[in-house]
Structure 1
Amino acid sequence: MWLCLPHYFSRKRLGNAALLQNFGVNLVELAPGSASALRHWHDKQDEFIYVLAGEITLVTDEGEKALTVGDCAGFPAGVVNGHCLINRSQEIVTYLEIGDRTSDDQVTYPDDDLIAEHSASGWIFKHKDGKLY
């Protein structure tokens, strides 16, 4: 799978600034050629995105879909369907990223030898065989 680590990636944590406890809201800017993350899915946390400016490609198990201004997508917890966003346009894309803060979440990266587990001290990254990175 084609993936480029973000070379311009801005994430403003609006939920933290508003002192929200139960869910987070991020204002994200993604440069051309950049990806939001490795393709992943959450065991316990829901995610939602809403496109504010530009065109971005949503990549899931079903394939790819272009999202433009006003489009949104939701990723329910526990649904085994990895997703990520890739900016294949020539312009910066801006979107809202909203997710809950359910504890003890696990994130699976289906295309990579990676699992992330949320703990009281933060995220712990492991290989799929359980060995720490």
Structure 2
Amino acid sequence: MPRIDIAEAPEGQGTRYPAPFGAPCAGRRWRALGAAAGLTQFGVNLVTLDAGVWSSQRHWHTDEDEFVWVLEGEVVMVTDAGREVLRAGDCAGFPAGRADGHHFINESDAPARLLVAGSRSEADACHYSDIDMHLHPGRYDDSAPRYTRKDGTPF
């Protein structure tokens, strides 16, 4: 059935980043709406960021587009250009291959909810702008993501 029951969609919390990089994102929660619908070519997640929580480490993708729409609350979008406040109704997009590290931080006192959509490319690698970490292609299979330091050494 095409209608998605959000309360029944797969849920998760935190990240699979190696320590200590997951700490600012540990309170991030999401519902995998795309997975609930059986979508395979792109992902759609309903993400909740409580006060002080980050969406991710600042990053950019080689082969994936990303789109973020703020549904409730307020977040600070951090990109290479600086910081910008986004409120409910605002949205942002990040084309694949554009080396502009980005993430969202809830610096308010209330939860924020984001609708996040992105393509799912097996060829995608992810670069992290502010930390010594790299995500290698092929993370959509059943194996754990392959994170290394930027010089290729494993964690």
Q: Aligned match of 2:41 in 2, 19, 22?
A: 22
Q: Give the structure-2-normalised TM-score.
A: 0.81
**Cα distance, 1:86 vs. partner?**
0.3
Cα separation, 1, equivalents of 2:71 and 2:80: 24
Please identify which structure carries the higher strand content.
Answer: 1
Deviations 1:74-130 (A, max 9, x none): 010000110000000000000100000111210000110000013243420011001
Q: Match of 1:5, SS?
A: helix
CA RMSD of aligned residues (A): 1.5
Which residues of structure 1 form unaligned runs of 5+? none
The match for 2:90 is: 71
The match for 1:123 is: 145
Q: Aligned match of 1:52 in 71, 79, 98?
A: 71
Q: Match of 2:97, SS?
A: coil
Please give the residue correspondences for 1:94-105 in structure 2 after superposition, counting only pairs within 5 Å. 94-105=113-124
The match for 1:33 is: 52
| 1:125 partner amino acid | Y
Higher relative contact order (CA 8 A, sep 6+): 1
Q: Match of 1:35, SS?
A: coil
Runs of 4+ aligned residues of structure 1 deviating over 6 Å after TM superposition are none
Query: In structure 2, do the counterparts of structure 1 residues 72 and 28 end up closer, same or farther at CA, with 3 Å as the change threshold?
Result: same
**Preserved CA contact (<8 Å) 1:7 1:31:** no
Q: Aligned match of 1:111 in 114, 130, 138?
A: 130
**Preserved CA contact (<8 Å) 1:4 1:35:** no
The reply to whether residue 8 of structure 1 matches residue 27 of structure 2 is yes
Cα separation, 1, equivalents of 2:23 and 2:112: 15
Which residues of structure 2 form unaligned runs of 5+? 1-21
